[in-house]
Amino acid sequence: MLTLATTTPGEPEIFASVQGEGQSAGRPCTFMRLSRCNLACTWCDTAYTWRFEGDNRPHRDDTRFDRTANQITLSEEDAAARILALGQNRLVITGGEPLLQSPALARMLALLPGIHIEIETNGTVAPTSALDALVDQYNVSPKLAHSGNAAELALIPERLAAFAADARAYFKFVVACEADVEAVQVLCSAFAIAPERTFLMPEGTDSATITARLKWLTPLVIKNDMRLTDRLHIHLFGDTRGT
């Protein structure tokens, strides 16, 4: 069984849209958002996947969500059928942290031959070998200090090194200030993360904040020969579920 987030109570967050970030930005795809996360970013825009009643991990909104209304379990067969019904040839699995559910994901993906599979991950969890064999692309987003996560939890050397050595992995760093770019440079140097697979993305959940940060971030991307990514879905749909 898979544990998913919901768009509304009882409705799993499986939907067709366009990828808003990173290497595949602008591509039509199906999204599936899983619930549960092993980290707790203070600015997380999907806190409804992990910050349930009784969870005291800090978040800037200090909102806690009802687990029953915001989680739903589906069989691997049911999830695969819903994905196929949307008719897209690209699936983005996001969260939460999807790799916490690697065994069930592997069983589901075995039912989806011919679909390009992307998994979005915070880079702290290793996929099972069965799942890894079915993945076309990893979108790895290691969390910097401004996320509020301790480095020993968020930046695990062996996992960063493994993803850096995998040509399927693209790195996306959430940046809120210029000092964050310096932190990214240190990580890229330490783990040999290729600049052409390194995206810098402004933190923000509204167009005004993202646009303002893109303006000062762009020269830094040029200077450091990295790649810039917007948050297209925020500009199109706002900070909403199922988009």
Residue 151's pLDDT is: 97
Q: How is residue 181 annotated by DSSP? A: H
Residue 182's pLDDT is: 96
- The CATH number given to whatever domain includes residue 208 is 3.20.20.70
- 200-233 pLDDT, tens digit each: 999 999 999 999 999 999 999 999 999 999 999 9
Give residue 197's domain range.
Answer: 2-237
Residue 167's pLDDT is: 98
- Give residue 142's pLDDT band: very low, low, confident or very high (50, 70, 90): very high
Residue at 108 is within a domain: yes
Contact, 141 vs 121, CB < 8 A? yes
Summarize the confidence of residues 2-6 as an average pLDDT. Answer: 98
Residue at 243 is within a domain: no
Residue at 81 is within a domain: yes
Residue 184's pLDDT is: 98
Element (H, E) at 115: none
Contacts of 191 (CB under 8 A, 6+ apart): 157, 160, 161, 164
Residue at 242 is within a domain: no
Q: In this structure, what token pair is assigned to residue 213? A: 């940060």
Residue at 113 is within a domain: yes
Residue at 90 is within a domain: yes
Residue 74's pLDDT is: 98
- 97-115 pLDDT, tens digit each: 999 999 999 999 999 999 9
Residue at 176 is within a domain: yes
Residue 231's pLDDT is: 97
Number of domains in the chain: 1
Q: How far apart are CA 71 and CA 167, in angstroms?
A: 33
Residue at 67 is within a domain: yes
pTM of the model: 0.96
Mean pLDDT of the chain: 97
- 157-200 pLDDT, tens digit each: 999 999 999 999 999 999 999 999 999 999 999 999 999 999 99
